[in-house]
Structure 1
Amino acid sequence: MTSTAANPAVSDAVAAMPFQLDAELRRVTAWWLNHSIDEAHGGFLAEIGMDGQPEPKTPKRVILNTRILWSFSTVAMHTDDPHVNSAAKRARDYVLQHFVDQENGGVVWDLNAQGDAINTRKQGYAQAFALYGLAAYHRAFGDADCLEMARSLFECLEQHFRDPELNGYWEAFAQDWSPLEDVRLSEKDANAPKSMNTHLHILEAYTELYRSWPDPALKDAILNLIELHIDRIYDADSRHLRLFWDNDWTDTSEAISYGHDIEASWLIWEAAEVVGDEDILSRCRPAVLGLAEACLHEATGPNGELLNEKDIASGHVDATRIWWVQAEAMVGFLNAYQMTGDGRYLTRVQELWSFIERHVIDPQGEWRWHSKIDADENPYWAGPWKSFYHNSRALIEAASRLRAL
Structure 2
Amino acid sequence: MAAILKQYHKRIQTELDRVVDFWLKYSPDEQHGGFFTCIGKDGKIYDELKYVWLQGRQVWMYCRLYRTMERFHRPEILEAAKSGGAFLQKFAKVQPSTGQKKCAFCLTRDGRALKVQRTIFSECFYVMAMDELARVTEDPAMQADAESMMDQLVHWVRNDSSGLGRPKLPGDQPVNSMAVPMMLLCLVDQLTEGRKELKGKYRELGDWCVKQILQHVQRDGKAILENVSPNGEELPGCQGRLQNPGHALEAGWFLLQYAKAQGDKELQKVAVEKFMEVPFLTGWDKKHGGLFYFLDVDGHCPTQLEWNMKLWWPHCEALISYLMAYEHFRDPAMLNRFAQIYDYTFTHFSDEENGEWFGYLSQHGEVVLDFKGGPFKGFFHVPRCLYMCEKMLDHLLATAESSK
TM-score (normalised: structure 1): 0.83
Asked if the contact 1:330/1:398 (under 8 Å) is kept, the reply is yes
Per-residue deviation, 1:277:
2.4
Q: Which amino acid aligns with 2:148?
A: S
Distance 1:50 1:396 in 2: 22
Structure 1 position 95, deviation (Å): 1.1
What residue number does 1:7 align with? none
Q: Which residue does the alignment assign to 1:208? A: 190
Tell whether 2:36 aligns with 1:45: yes
Equivalent pair of 2:53/2:122 in contact (CA under 8 Å): yes
The Cα of 1:399 is off from its aligned counterpart by 1.3
Q: Is structure 2 residue 351 aligned with structure 1 residue 366?
A: no
1:120 matches 2:110: no
The match for 1:312 among 269, 290, 297 is 297
Query: What is the CA–CA distance in structure 2 between the aligned matches of 1:130 and 1:199, rounded to whole Å?
Result: 17
What is the alpha-carbon root mean square deviation over aligned residues? 2.7
One-letter amino acid matched to 1:86? E
Aligned to 1:26: 17
Find 1:62's aligned residue among 37, 52, 68.
Answer: 52
**What amino acid sits opposite 1:15 in the alignment?**
K
Alignment of 1:232-311 (within 5 A): 232-235=215-218, 237-246=220-229, 250-252=233-235, 253-273=240-260, 276-278=261-263, 280-302=264-286, 305-311=290-296
Q: CA offsets, 1:293-351, max 9 Å, x none?
A: 22343333457633323122335584422111111111111122233322122022223
Distance apart, 1:180 and its partner CA = 3.3
The answer to whether the Cα contact below 8 Å between 1:111 and 1:119 also exists between their aligned partners in 2 is: yes
In the alignment, the residues of structure 2 paired with residue 97 and residue 191 of structure 1 have an alpha-carbon distance, to the nearest angstrom, of 36
**Equivalents in 1 of 2:94, 2:195: separation in Å?**
23
Q: Note if 1:398 corresponds to 2:389.
A: yes
Query: What is the one-letter code of the residue matched to 2:64?
Result: T
Greater shift in the superposed pair: 246-255 or 114-123: 246-255
State the shift of 1:144 in Å: 1.9
- Alpha-carbon separation, structure 1, partners of 2:340 and 2:371: 26
Q: Which amino acid aligns with 1:293?
A: E
Q: Distance in 1 between matches of 2:273 and 2:320?
A: 13
Maintained 8 Å contact 2:92/2:104: yes
Shift of 1:11: 4.5
Residue number in structure 1 paired with 2:399: none
Pair 1:196-2:178 in alignment: yes
Task: For residue 193 of structure 2, give the secondary structure of its aligned residue in structure 1.
Answer: helix
- Equivalent position amino acid for 2:259 in 1: A
3-state secondary structure, aligned to 1:398: helix
Deviation of 1:132 after TM superposition, in Å, equals 1.8
Partner of 2:401: none
Cα distance in 1 for residues equivalent to 2:17 and 2:27 = 15
Contact 1:48 1:380 in 2 (8 A): yes
Q: Does 1:150 align with 2:140?
A: no
Match for 1:20: what amino acid?
R
Partner of 1:83: 76
CA contact (8 A) 1:243 1:255 kept: yes
What is the CA–CA distance in structure 2 between the aligned matches of 1:312 and 1:112, rounded to whole Å? 40
Distance 1:121 1:309 in 2: 23
Map 1:373-384 to 2 at 5 A: 373-375=364-366, 377-378=368-369, 380-384=371-375
Structure 1 CA distance for aligned equivalents of residues 292 and 3 of structure 2: 27
Instruction: Tell me by how many angstroms 1:133 deviates.
Output: 2.1
Q: Secondary structure at the match of 1:377?
A: strand
Contact conserved, 2:127 with 2:187, CA < 8 A, in 1?
yes
Are the counterparts in 2 of residues 132 and 206 from structure 1 also a CA contact under 8 Å? no
1:326 maps onto 2:315 in alignment: yes
Given that 1:135 and 1:212 are in contact with CA atoms closer than 8 Å, whether structure 2 keeps it comes out as no
Confirm or deny: 8 A CA contact 2:217 2:274 kept in the other structure.
Answer: no
Q: Secondary structure at the match of 1:118?
A: strand
Instruction: State percent identity of aligned pairs.
Output: 21
Letter paired with 2:30: E
User: Where in structure 2 are there 5+ consecutive unaligned residues?
Assistant: 397-404
Does 2:92 correspond to 1:99? yes
* 1:33-73 CA distance string (max 9 Å, x none): 111112343211141234533234x6321111111111111
Distance 2:274 2:230 in 1: 26
SS in 1 for 2:295: strand
* Displacement of 1:108: 2.3
What is the SS of the residue equivalent to 1:204?
helix
Cα distance in 2, alignment partners of residues 88 and 339 from structure 1: 32
Partner of 2:402: none
- Check 1:298–1:312 CA distance in 2 against 1; reply closer, same or farther (3 A cut): closer
CA deviation string 1:139-176 (max 9, x = no partner): 33433232111101111012222148xxxxx6xx5xx5
In the alignment, the residues of structure 1 paired with residue 53 and residue 173 of structure 2 have an alpha-carbon distance, to the nearest angstrom, of: 19
| Equivalent position SS for 1:380 | coil
Which deviates the most, 379-388 or 389-398? 379-388
Separation of aligned partners in 1, 2:383 and 2:341:
15
C-alpha distance in structure 2 between counterparts of 1:281 and 1:89, whole Å: 40
- Letter of the structure 1 residue corresponding to residue 113 of structure 2: A
